[in-house]
A = this chain, B = another copy of it.
Amino acid sequence: MGLKAGVVGAAGFAGIELVRLLLRHPDFELTVVTSDAWAGTPISRMYPAFTGVTDLAFSANAQAPLAECDVVFLAVPHTAALAVAPGLIEQGVSVVDLSADFRLADPEEYQAWYKTPHTATDLLAKRAFGLPELFRKDLEDLAAKHAAGEAVLVGCAGCYPTATSLAAAPAIRAGLIDPKGVVVVDAVSGVTGAGKKATERTHFCFANENVEAYGVGTHRHTPEISQILGLDGRLVFTPHLAPLNRGLLSTVTMPLDPAKPLPTQEELDKVYADFYADSALVQFIQGGQPQTSSVAGTDRAQVGAVVHTAARMVVATGAIDNLGKGAAGQAVQCANIICGLDEAAGLDLIACAI
């Protein structure tokens, strides 16, 4: 209980999931939760699951004693993190940002996709990208700085990029994929991905018993996926909404490199199994396909991969909980690493099998 943690924007879906994880974390003590809209309200009044669990109430952002925290998580919309992160870092507080503000390495790309200038490019240059299985070294570098008393910043990966990249990276990094080919990503998210705001889109009666694509060709996770996987724009990403609360499945179809012999399924299995052999939280499901229900409520991810011989493609699938490994779980995992803890500390939850 040595480390104090705060959550800015704790009333939203990613924020409250952070609260759920941090209240049971063996090493962090959750001391501050903020929400301007709900300042003064006990968490348990808004989310009755916390009745009898915590007496914490939301504070207004301006009044919250965030400077006393060792780590502050930002569960806020993009641009809001740009406004808050620099001040916290200046006060010596390390920041784990769940927004989109520190994901894209190139501030011009940020401006192009988010239609607003990046106002903290110096911080951006020093941040690590929060997807430990693919960028562990960068996070460990931050851990060294944090241990030396420096406040550091993590820009956590988004939900679609996380599931997609965990599915695709082993094949790409193994050099199996055509460096000139286009990767097609069709991903399906549960409705928590659309956020807490009550809209027609999130109304039960419109979301229930429905599947639809949205943001075709325009979703802001596109450049982030491209950046992680080094696709340089050779990417078609189509997100979909399906009627479940939590869960995100990304199906990634990648052309095999025509200059190389077609791998066998056994060879592909080995590539994936080896890639995740030492991973605490990501599992390769050999000979099967991952299910989102197997990881719901957790920071775990499961991945499958199939050689499509006829079309010379790899079809890889990645399942996560969009609020878990896709948001709050991953943020806690990143915080664990930069604080020198076991990366899975407090993340030992097992999905309800049914």
Residues of A within 8 A of B (CB): 13, 16-17, 20, 23-24, 47-53, 182, 184, 186, 188, 190-192, 196, 198-200, 202-214, 216-217, 233-236, 238, 240, 242-247, 249, 251, 253, 255, 280-281, 283, 285, 288-297, 300, 302, 304, 306-311, 313, 315, 317, 319, 323, 348-354
What are 16 A-to-B residue pairs whose CB atoms are below 8 Å? A13-B354, A49-B351, A50-B353, A188-B242, A196-B203, A204-B208, A209-B244, A210-B291, A211-B244, A212-B249, A213-B304, A216-B315, A217-B308, A234-B311, A236-B308, A236-B311
Question: Chain B contacts of A285 at CB under 8 A?
Answer: 48, 51
Instruction: Decide: B205 and A191 in contact? CB cutoff 8 A.
Output: yes
Measured between alpha carbons, how far is A207 from B204 in the docked complex, in Å?
7
In the complex, what residue of chain B is closest to A289 when comparing beta carbons? B213
In the complex, the answer to whether B48 meets A246 with C-beta atoms within 8 Å is no
- How many angstroms between the C-alpha atoms of A310 and B49 in the bound complex? 32
Return the contact of A352 from the options B20, B191, B207, B348 (Cβ within 8 A). B20
- Stoichiometry (number of copies): 4
* A204 cross-chain contacts in B, Cβ below 8 A: 191, 202-204, 207-208, 243, 245
Are B251 and A16 in contact, CB atoms less than 8 angstroms apart? no
Of the candidates A52, A196, A247, A280, the one having the most CB atoms from chain B within 10 angstroms of its own CB is A52
